[in-house]
């Protein structure tokens, strides 16, 4: 399959700021405090000191109409009939005798007789306030300061605690506790892994009734390691165990233990187990444990780095607790080959559960689980979808239904129909259609290339890997595709089927050379694929005269602490014979495919012309051309798909852009 390099620049994600001491916040609060004090004590009426008068002077000024307003407040602290009179004059007077500062404010304190009181009341400019005591005076002066000091203390202490929490929380576990109500998952939400559910079912029974096992002398496994390809539901199955047992579920990633500071990972491991003991019975789930559980002593320099200290602490903690405490460790990884052997021994991870890709029945069950939230039309048959999606994981099946729902919504439909699911399946498995600008010569080259693949496979197919669809519309990184969908799951690789796949992979290049008299770089992906299959046949599967001897296991990873130097496990003579056998297999299938295309030249041209006219034909149309000489059933054109595709603006061809003008070929038909 030709590949087009379409690299897109991605904006880097910005890290969130750490929780630390923020001096800007303190500066803002300090400015607010200063402003409040200024408003409280530096009001315009207090910019100058009030003039000190006698009670008799105040009485005379009041009778002369020179006082604007005033307040009479009895003051028991000065003695009997003692009062304090404050107010504002209509005209300014000196603050003190001989002073140049003028003020309208005055204050008088002294004995206020009944006669003077009557004279002041007649002026009708004074208001009376209740008498003040020593306690109220102290409260009026002290309480505002206490409130302000308390507010500042609260703000400073909070900032300091947040700063300390960021510095002292490195050793705390980052395990997240899932709530039982909102995040509850049960076995009904997990499908396609019945054997794995049976393995963990006894863990649920133990968490519900531990005495059932302990009275028989049995011991529940301390740790359960889930192994399997990505997307098969390892994390979902662990959550279902906690949901069925109705116990707390702590989830953490293996990368959360490793930090740049020495001893932080080990401290987090100890804190995680301590949290588990406090919340027992509970489950602790460690996802991607290979990030911290790799083999010790790995690397060229060796040494005891931070990751190894974390692993040592994990090993000790798993030995230091008993399952009678009700703490069970469940870990998940898709790289069990890199884990340390001490971590996998009985007593730590006692049981390994392999969560494989779902089979036909499992895929249908998974589709039914995810189809609950999607409005499906009556013509959608999940069994047909499951039969046409071999090798897909549970996550990929969920994504397929989601893509179908999005596609139906974009087409303004009320329900998801079968055509939407088929288009979504092709988008997920082979890539989305892209309308690239191709001239007639490139379109012809691509059409004959794809016709060569379809013709060879149509002749050699034994019903195991039929042609599903042939198109010259670019999908993904290819300019054309010949799609194959196996009728059943691929469990073993037969020799004759592998040879047929090699011949089919070479059919595109042979068709170019036979019809056009020239070859292009469009068969680069095909050549890599057929070479890979042939090498597996010789080196791994024993499908050659060299015999059932494995020659492929000769590359150890240096950074796993196995071998620093990579030594070949066979001689140069054997290497030469391996290369000869690989070349022999490919040359024989090249001649075989050449004979098929030469004998059926008319069918090749009819398939290519149909591709040029319709751009996409189905596998049944290829078989009709081979059997009847022409297409018997009408070719379906989907107008909805064309509406989703925006027209491409014409542009001049770029120079030296060979990758953009490669003809298409088929994707890898089956994993080899």
Per-residue b or e along 71-83, where b marks 16 or more CB atoms closer than 10 Å to that residue's CB? ebeebeeeeeeeb
452 marked as binding residue: no
231 marked as binding residue: yes
**pLDDT band, residue 261 (cuts 50/70/90):** low
What mean pLDDT is predicted for residues 640-651? 37
Q: Which residues contact 290 (CB under 8 A, 6 or more apart)?
A: 254, 333, 334, 335, 336, 338, 339
Considering the chain, what is the average pLDDT of its residues? 75
Percentage of the chain beyond pLDDT 70 is: 75
State the pLDDT at residue 522: 82
481, β-bridge pairs: 471
pLDDT tens track for 46-79: 456 787 888 888 888 888 888 888 888 777 666 6
Can you tell me the distance from the alpha carbon of 356 to that of 87, in angstroms, rounded to the nearest whole number?
91
**pLDDT band, residue 672 (cuts 50/70/90):** very low
**pLDDT band, residue 593 (cuts 50/70/90):** very high
Cα Rg of the chain (Å, integer): 42
526 marked as binding residue: yes
Higher pLDDT among residues 186 and 173, named by residue: 186
Whether 450 is catalytic: yes
* 75 in Cβ contact with 132 (< 8 Å): yes
Q: Is 347 left (phi over 0), alpha (psi -120 to 50) or beta?
A: left
What mean pLDDT is predicted for residues 266-287? 81
**pLDDT band, residue 24 (cuts 50/70/90):** low
Other C-beta atoms lying within 10 Å of the C-beta of residue 456:
29
Q: Both tokens of residue 613?
A: 């006219």
CA 74-75-77 angle, to 5 degrees, is 160
Of 235, 216, 214, the C-alpha closest to 224 is: 235
Per-residue b or e along 346-356, where b marks 16 or more CB atoms closer than 10 Å to that residue's CB? eebbbbebebe
Q: Tokens 């052997």 label which residue?
A: 341
350 marked as binding residue: no
Q: Report which secondary-structure segment, H or E, holds 330.
A: strand 327-333
In three-state secondary structure terms, 176 is strand
State the pLDDT at residue 667: 38
Q: Report which secondary-structure segment, H or E, holds 471.
A: strand 467-471
Question: Which of 450, 512, 581, 618 is labelled catalytic?
Answer: 450
Count helices and strands (H / E) in the chain.
Answer: 21, 14
Q: According to the 3-state scheme, what is the secondary structure of 547-587?
A: CCCCCCCCCCCHHHCCCCCCCCCCCHHHHHHHHHHHHHHHH
Strands 467-471 and 481-484: antiparallel
What mean pLDDT is predicted for residues 218-226? 79
Q: Is the model's pLDDT at 521 over the cut of 70?
A: yes
State the pLDDT at residue 653: 36
Q: Is the model's pLDDT at 211 over the cut of 70?
A: yes
474 marked as binding residue: no
232 marked as binding residue: yes
118-122, 187-191, 471-475: which has the highest mean pLDDT? 471-475
State the pLDDT at residue 584: 94
484, β-bridge pairs: 467
Other C-beta atoms lying within 10 Å of the C-beta of residue 127:
11
478, β-bridge pairs: 475
Q: Is the model's pLDDT at 11 over the cut of 70?
A: no
Q: Is the model's pLDDT at 586 over the cut of 90?
A: yes
State the pLDDT at residue 114: 77
Can you tell me the distance from the alpha carbon of 453 to that of 509, in angstroms, rounded to the nearest whole number?
9
Q: Which residues contact 303 (CB under 8 A, 6 or more apart)?
A: none
What mean pLDDT is predicted for residues 565-592? 85
Can you tell me the distance from the alpha carbon of 336 to that of 224, in angstroms, rounded to the nearest whole number?
13
Instruction: List the single range of 49-53, 160-164, 234-238, 559-563 with lowest mean pLDDT.
Output: 559-563
Angle between helices 495-511 and 524-539 (to 10 degrees): 160
What mean pLDDT is predicted for residues 372-379? 86
State the pLDDT at residue 13: 37
Q: Tokens 């898709």 label which residue?
A: 334
Instruction: Read off the pTM.
Output: 0.64
Q: Tokens 């599967």 label which residue?
A: 541
Strands 351-354 and 467-471: unpaired
Q: Is the model's pLDDT at 305 over the cut of 90?
A: no
229 marked as binding residue: yes
Q: Which residues contact 60 (CB under 8 A, 6 or more apart)?
A: none
């Amino acid at each position: 399959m030709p590949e087009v390099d379409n690299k897109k620049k991605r904006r880097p994600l910005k890290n969130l700021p750490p929780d630390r001491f923020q001096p800007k916040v303190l500066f803002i609060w300090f400015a607010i405090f200063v402003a409040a004090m200024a408003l409280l004590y530096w009001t315009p009426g207090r910019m100058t000191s009030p003039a000190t008068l006698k009670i008799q002077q105040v009485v005379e000024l009041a009778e002369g109409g020179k006082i604007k307003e005033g307040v009479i407040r009895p003051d028991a602290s000065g003695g009997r009939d003692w009062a304090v009179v404050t107010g504002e004059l209509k005209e300014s007077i000196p603050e003190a005798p001989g002073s140049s500062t003028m003020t309208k404010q005055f204050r008088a304190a002294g004995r206020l007789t009944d006669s003077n009181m009557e004279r002041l009341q007649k002026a009708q400019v004074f208001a009376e306030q209740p008498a003040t005591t020593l306690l109220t005076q102290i409260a009026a002066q002290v309480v505002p300061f206490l409130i302000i000091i308390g507010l500042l203390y609260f703000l400073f202490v909070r900032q300091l605690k947040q700063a300390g929490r960021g510095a002292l929380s490195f050793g705390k576990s980052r395990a997240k506790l899932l709530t039982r109500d909102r995040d509850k998952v049960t076995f009904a939400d997990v499908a396609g892994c019945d054997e794995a559910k049976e393995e963990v079912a006894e863990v649920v029974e133990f968490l519900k009734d531990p005495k059932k096992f302990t009275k028989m002398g049995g011991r529940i496994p301390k740790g359960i390691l889930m192994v399997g390809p990505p997307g098969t539901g390892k994390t979902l199955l662990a959550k279902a165990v906690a949901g069925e047992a109705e116990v707390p579920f702590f989830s953490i990633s293996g990368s959360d233990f490793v930090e740049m500071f020495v001893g932080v990972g080990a401290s987090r491991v100890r804190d995680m187990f301590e949290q588990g003991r406090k919340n027992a019975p509970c489950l602790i789930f460690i996802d991607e444990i290979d990030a911290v559980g790799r083999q010790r002593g790995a690397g060229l320099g060796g040494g005891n780095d931070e990751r190894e200290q974390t692993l040592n602490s994990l090993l000790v903690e798993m030995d230091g607790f008993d399952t009678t405490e009700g703490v069970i460790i469940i870990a998940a990884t898709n790289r069990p080959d890199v884990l340390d052997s001490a971590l996998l021994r009985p007593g730590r991870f006692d049981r390994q559960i392999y969560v494989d890709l779902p089979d036909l029945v499992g895929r249908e069950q998974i589709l039914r689980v995810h189809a609950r939230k999607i409005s499906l039309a009556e013509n959608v048959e999940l069994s047909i979808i499951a039969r046409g999606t071999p090798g897909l994981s549970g996550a990929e099946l969920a994504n397929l239904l989601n893509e179908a729902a999005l596609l139906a919504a974009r087409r303004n439909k009320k329900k998801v129909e079968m055509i939407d699911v088929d288009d979504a399946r092709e988008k997920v498995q082979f890539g989305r259609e892209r309308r690239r600008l191709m001239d007639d010569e490139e379109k012809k080259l691509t059409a004959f290339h794809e016709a060569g693949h379809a013709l060879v496979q149509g002749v050699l197919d034994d019903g195991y890997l039929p042609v599903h669809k042939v198109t010259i519309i670019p999908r993904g990184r290819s300019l054309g595709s010949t799609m194959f969908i196996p009728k059943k799951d691929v469990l073993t690789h037969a020799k004759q089927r592998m040879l047929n796949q090699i011949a089919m992979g070479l059919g595109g290049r042979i068709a170019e050379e036979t019809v056009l008299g020239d070859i292009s770089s469009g068969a680069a992906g095909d050549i890599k694929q057929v070479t890979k299959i042939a090498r597996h046949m010789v080196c791994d599967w024993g499908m050659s005269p060299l015999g059932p001897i494995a020659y492929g296991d000769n590359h150890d990873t240096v950074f796993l602490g196995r071998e620093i130097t990579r030594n070949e496990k066979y001689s140069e003579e054997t290497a030469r014979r391996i290369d000869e056998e690989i070349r022999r297999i490919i040359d024989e299938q090249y001649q075989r495919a050449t004979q098929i295309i030469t004998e059926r030249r008319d069918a090749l041209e009819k398939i290519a012309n149909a591709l040029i006219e319709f751009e996409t034909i189905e596998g049944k149309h290829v078989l009709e051309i081979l059997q009847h000489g022409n297409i018997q059933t009408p070719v379906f054109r989907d107008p909805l798909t064309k509406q989703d595709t925006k027209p491409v603006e014409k542009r001049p061809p770029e120079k030296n852009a060979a990758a953009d003008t490669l003809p298409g070929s088929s994707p890898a038909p089956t994993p080899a």
